Amino acid sequence: MQSVNRQIHELPIGEQFFPQQTQQHQHPPGIGPQIFSPQLLQARLQQQQGGLVQDVHGIEKNQNLQNVYLLKQKLEAANAAFGQQQVPQRQGQQQQMLNSGSKNTNSAALSSLTGLPPGVGMVQHGTSGMGPPSGAMHPQLAVGSFSLPPPTYFVVREVWSNNLYAEFMSIRKLVDQYSHVSISTEFVGTIARPMGNFRSKNDYHYQTMRANVDLLNPVQIGISLSDANGNKPETKHSTWQFNFHFDVTKEMVSSESLELLKKSGINFERHQNFGVSAFEFAQLLIDSGLISDNVTWVSYHAAYDFGFLVNMLMNNSMPNNKEDYVWWVQQFVPNFYDLNLINKFAQQHPNQLQQQHQPQFTLETMADELGIPRFSLFSSTAGQSLLALLTFTSLLNLPLPHPHLGPDLTRYRNMIYGITNE
């Protein structure tokens, strides 16, 4: 068993963070920034740049969604007006309509949408600090033309202990028809890192994840359902944000992460008093129909998302080695895709190894390339699961064979970035 140093650190995701010289794979104590979830990163960005984006945890289904229809109608009318132009020009104009609210003929239309429901407001890609870093993206995926779906697609149901059973009943009714499920996990950041000798880089990645999953409890888990074409029920919510019991006086958490999560909108007092029991969640998940050979799971950070999931479903410590961990994942989640891994493969190009600065890839930049606009809802835990699902189903609809993805996506099935891709 690896020794654990409980100082803030970072799980190496790319080659640049992993020592290459010897088998002694370790960092000096205290070196390296902490890994943060998208929600924590959003709070850090707000703190540094004066709150550029509104963070919202979700929309309850009774809120007024008529403005979403208004936006959809205006975008469709604009597309029809330019329908005789070339496709690239039309896509560029649509993206401009989504990203700019003041410099074109659609400014009045977009300015009239200031009453959008919380979380559906669009984030301008051009806003400082919100777009991908300069030179970070190599557009290897076809940029798509994203049509706004019905507003119920953007409805997030907050789940606490008082409605846990009712919401799992809703999931059971939907899963047969909507058998693609995405997952995103919010936790307090990595606090431990293993030290010593490791068999490989992937073994180091796994031991780091294992140590943190064993020590930490999730704060939130987001789940979203659709079919293989991205269709969701138009009259019911199909995205959930499960809020877990979390007592900050008993959990291991850095003060920085705690403050960032509070600023992002997480109410830890409510989590302590009304949070979902992880044991109950696991029991209901097993009976929900989601643990099935007929269900396809999607994640962008599969190592940690499935790590917390397996930990709860096993009700035991994580396996000692990555081979046993992968075995357990496939028992509970027989079919899954890691978007992070797909993204890395799609962005590879012949001279990438010669580049001094490795590009930074995120779920948001992947969605950008597919033409999915940025909504502030996507910064929440449930919003991340929704964005992952929209991204994956958009990939499924790309023309195949794809020059960078290959003949189909099945080649990436049941692979976890940083764990199984040697």
Q: Could you write out the DSSP letters of every residue in 184-228?
A: EEE-S----EEES--SSHHHHHHHHHHHHHHH---SEEEEEEE-T
Q: Is residue 14 part of a domain?
A: no
307 and 374 in a common domain: yes
59 and 71 in a common domain: no
Q: Is residue 326 part of a domain?
A: yes
| Cα gap 264→7, rounded to integer Å | 23
155 and 81 in a common domain: no
| Cα gap 117→114, rounded to integer Å | 9
Number of domains in the chain: 2
Q: Is residue 331 part of a domain?
A: yes
Task: Look at residue 9 in the predicted model and tell me its pLDDT.
Answer: 37
Q: Is residue 134 part of a domain?
A: no
Copy the structure tokens of residue 61. 């289904």
Quote the DSSP letter at residue 382. H
Quickly list DSSP for 388-407.
Answer: HHHHHHHHHTS-SSBTTTBS
270 and 227 in a common domain: yes
283 and 195 in a common domain: yes
Mean pLDDT split into 10-residue runs, the chain, 422 residues = 39 37 42 54 57 39 44 50 44 44 38 41 38 44 66 94 98 98 95 89 94 96 96 95 97 88 94 98 98 97 97 96 96 97 76 53 90 91 97 87 74 93 64
167 and 97 in a common domain: no
Task: Look at residue 91 in the predicted model and tell me its pLDDT.
Answer: 45
Q: Is residue 242 part of a domain?
A: yes
Q: Is residue 92 part of a domain?
A: yes
Q: Count H helices and E strands in the chain, helices first.
A: 14, 8
183 and 91 in a common domain: no
180 and 103 in a common domain: no
Task: Look at residue 228 in the predicted model and tell me its pLDDT.
Answer: 93
100 and 208 in a common domain: no
Task: Look at residue 255 in the predicted model and tell me its pLDDT.
Answer: 84
Task: Look at residue 99 in the predicted model and tell me its pLDDT.
Answer: 45
84 and 46 in a common domain: no
Q: Is residue 209 part of a domain?
A: yes
What CATH number is attached to the domain comprising 215?
A: 3.30.420.10
380 and 295 in a common domain: yes
| Cα gap 53→118, rounded to integer Å | 12
Task: Look at residue 150 in the predicted model and tell me its pLDDT.
Answer: 84
- pTM as predicted: 0.71
| Cα gap 271→241, rounded to integer Å | 12
108 and 53 in a common domain: no
Residue 96 sits in which domain range? 66-114
Copy the structure tokens of residue 372. 């999915």
Q: Is residue 36 part of a domain?
A: no
